[in-house]
Structures are given as structure tokens and as C-alpha cells.
Amino acid sequence: MMNKQEVLSILEQYGLSATKSLGQNFLCNEDVIGRILDLAEISEKTRVLEIGPGIGALSEEAVKRAGKYTAVEIDTSFQNRLDSVITEQGGRVIFQDFLAFSASSLSKEEMPDVVISNLPYYVMTPIMLKVMADFPDCGKMVYMVEEEAQERIFAKPGTKQYGPLSVLTDLFGVKKKEFVVDRSSFVPPPNTTSAVITIKRHEGQEWKADWIRFVESAFALRRKTLVNSLSSAGKYGKESIASALSEMGKKETARCEELAPADFVRLYEILTK
């Protein structure tokens, strides 16, 4: 596992540096790396997908533990380093922007049980939504995020931060804030503190990718009523939405932030009967 001196040595050896526009900060704390890998519960039967491995702080050990290991990395300058860490150990690296990546490019044997990633703030939400849409059978996700960004994931109804991400992650699985990671655990150190969170998929509950579009439509005009916001997408009429809300015991003037995650499921079911 990597410490700060080893990270600096790798960067020098391969002529690499962090690209600020990609939100790159390389993890250099062995204790944090170990705790993340333990949370991922990787075994020889586990299929792992890592998004943005960078120089392989997590990959180096994870690829040894996993049955199947795949990484998607946007920065091709890391190719030589990742080939030595992942490819030569039997894993696979796909050099592509994950947001443009197609899940169909993975074989059945590569479809992940576990997803791990250190998520840059500016792409946190779209990546998390894409993982849930593309890999509905994924059992667990272990993410490192900026600590302040947690509010958008764990927000409750009626709060300013409550939105599609908090609703959809709640519908997907059980969320937990695991531990905080200080700035000194990275090279270069980021401007803010980070945190590791886990999402463990609900057992026995059907996850529908259509929920993502539905919930996003509900919050599209969050200052408007839910009737106006949902109808603006053109799929449902105002009368149908108002009738569905009434059936749920909700007022026609209800706004999106007033509905709990389970309410969105019920509303979707009524509208799509």
C-alpha cells in the first residue's frame, strides 16, 4: 500500500502530475486505503469496478483480492503505471470518460458486485446516478467524496439539499457515512476534507432505471409545484399528476421536497399503471 513518499516516487518515475481540471488528488494514506478495501469486502469471488484509479492507490491491492477487476480511467497518461499495477496482475483498464462509457462493453463476468471510486466533486452526482442506472445488481458501492458533498446524499425531505441524489440513493440501498479523511492523506492535498461512504443495495427490492428520469423530472423546477415540474417533461398531464397526489393523500400544491423517497415510488406506480 502507498504512503506519501511512494506516491511522490511513482509520480517522478512515470513523469506524472495531478491534473486540477480532472479533480485529481492521489491517496497516500495506507490506513485509509486499508479501511476502504475492507469496507468493499473484496474476495476471490468479487467482481470489482473502479472508476478513476489514478496511479492505482486502491487498485494495487484490490486487483490481488478480486476475482475480476476492471478499471475505467479518463487520463491516458496513467497507462504505463496502470498496466504494471492492473493489467499485468490479470485486471483490465479501459481508458475512457466513465460518463461516456457503455456498460455493454463489459462481459457478463465483469459486471460488478462492488464499485469503488474517489469521486471528484464536479462529477459526483452524474457518476453516482450512472452507476445505479447501469449496474442495478451491484451489491455495494464505496465512494470517497468531499465531506460537504455528503449533504446532497444524506439530505432529508424539507431541506435545501434534498434532491434527486438523496432520493435515488435512498431507494437503491442503505447509506452510511463511514469515516472522514483529512487533507494530508492526499498528494496534492485538496482544499477540503473528504469522507468515505457506502451504499449497500436493498435486498429483494426491484430497482428501476426509469426512477432516475422520473425523480429528476420531479425536481427539474423545484420552486414550482410538483404538478408543474413533472408535467413540464411532457410525459404526464397535470390532471393525472394531481389525481395521483390526491390518491396518496397529498395536496395538489405539494412540492418535490415534501415527498419522502417512498412517496416518489408510489407516485411513479400510480402514474405508470
pTM of the model: 0.93
Look at residue 58 and tell me whether its pLDDT is greater than 90.
Answer: yes
Look at residue 189 and tell me whether its pLDDT is greater than 70.
Answer: yes
Q: How confident is the model at residue 234 (pLDDT cuts 50, 70, 90)?
A: confident
Same domain, 12 and 147: yes
Q: What is the pLDDT of residues 93-144, one digit of tens each?
A: 999 999 999 999 999 999 999 999 999 888 999 999 999 999 999 999 999 9
Same domain, 189 and 217: no
Same domain, 193 and 219: no
Q: How confident is the model at residue 168 (pLDDT cuts 50, 70, 90)?
A: very high
Same domain, 26 and 150: yes
Rounded distance between C-alpha atoms, residue 241 and residue 167, angstroms? 19
- The CATH number given to whatever domain includes residue 255 is 1.10.8.100
CB atoms under 10 Å from CB of 156, counted, come to 11
Of 201, 227, 244, which residue constitutes the final position of a domain? 201
Same domain, 100 and 27: yes
Look at residue 23 and tell me whether its pLDDT is greater than 80.
Answer: no
Q: What is the pLDDT of residues 200-211, one digit of tens each?
A: 999 887 888 889
Same domain, 218 and 252: yes
- The CATH number given to whatever domain includes residue 134 is 3.40.50.150
Look at residue 1 and tell me whether its pLDDT is greater than 70.
Answer: no
Please answer whether residues 231 and 179 qualify as being in contact, where contact means their C-beta atoms are separated by less than 8 angstroms: no
- How many domains does one find in the chain? 2
Same domain, 177 and 223: no
Structural domain for 160, as ranges: 4-201
Of 163, 181, 201, which residue constitutes the final position of a domain? 201
Chain center to CA of 22: 16
Of 201, 224, 241, which residue constitutes the final position of a domain? 201
Same domain, 168 and 127: yes
